């Protein structure tokens, strides 16, 4: 199943895609913030143009598992995306994204990515980490011996 991960942020929203076999996730770009509604519109257009079958929106829980203001914004984004996709079979889910931006920054530090390129890359890398974690979770959920 082709999946799209969305790492929603106030300044930038990172996107990541995986292949149909859910083997490889890759950064797919960044939407520079245009306001929530315009960002949602661009996410939906991207999903439709890329044959996406499912969307995973990162849910930034607090370390204690509670939901704060950022999580509520992400939930609102997920609801708006789902609303725009209501006439399609594309499902929208939320997935815990705790520490993904920190992990993305560590990856970029190790790759010595700096400056504007770093800002434009960190959110797409964070979305990729969300998608990789989601794909691993899905594999753990499937009955033994069953392929997706």
Residue numbers of the domain that contains 44: 3-141
* Average pLDDT over every residue of 100-127: 68
- How many structural domains comprise the chain? 1
Q: Is residue 48 part of a domain?
A: yes
Q: Measured between alpha carbons, how far is 134 from 93 in angstroms, rounded to an integer?
A: 10
Mean pLDDT, residues 88-116 taken together: 72
Domain annotation covers residue 146: no
d(CA 95, CA 109): 25
What is the rounded CA–CA span in Å between residue 58 and residue 2?
17
Residue 148 above 70 pLDDT? no
In a domain, 147, yes or no: no
Domain at 103, CATH number:
3.30.420.140
pLDDT at 116: 62
- Of 23, 43, 129, 135, nearest to 90 by C-alpha is 43
Total number of residues shown for the chain: 148
The pLDDT assigned to 109 comes to 62
Rg (CA), the chain: 15
* Sign of CA pseudo-dihedral 93, 137, 128, 3: negative
Mean pLDDT of 107-130: 73
d(CA 131, CA 100): 10
Domain assignment present for residue 148? The answer is: no
Question: What pLDDT, in 10s, does the model give residues 12-32?
Answer: 999 999 999 999 999 999 999
Least confident segment among 18-32, 38-52, 75-89, 97-111: 97-111
**Whole-prediction pTM:** 0.85
């Amino acid at each position: 199943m082709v999946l799209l991960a969305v790492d929603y942020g106030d300044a930038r929203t990172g996107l990541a895609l995986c292949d149909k076999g859910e083997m490889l996730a890759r950064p797919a770009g960044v939407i520079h913030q245009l306001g929530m509604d315009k960002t949602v519109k661009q996410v939906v257009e991207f999903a439709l143009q890329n044959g996406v079958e499912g969307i995973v929106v990162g849910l930034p829980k607090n370390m204690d598992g509670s939901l704060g203001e950022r999580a509520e914004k992400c939930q609102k984004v997920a609801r708006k995306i789902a609303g725009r996709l209501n006439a399609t079979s594309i499902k929208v889910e939320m997935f815990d994204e705790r520490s993904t931006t920190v992990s993305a920054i560590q990856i970029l530090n190790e790759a010595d990515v700096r400056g504007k390129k770093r800002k434009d890359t960190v959110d797409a890398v964070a979305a990729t980490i969300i998608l990789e974690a989601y794909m691993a979770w899905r594999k753990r959920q499937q009955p033994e011996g069953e392929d997706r």
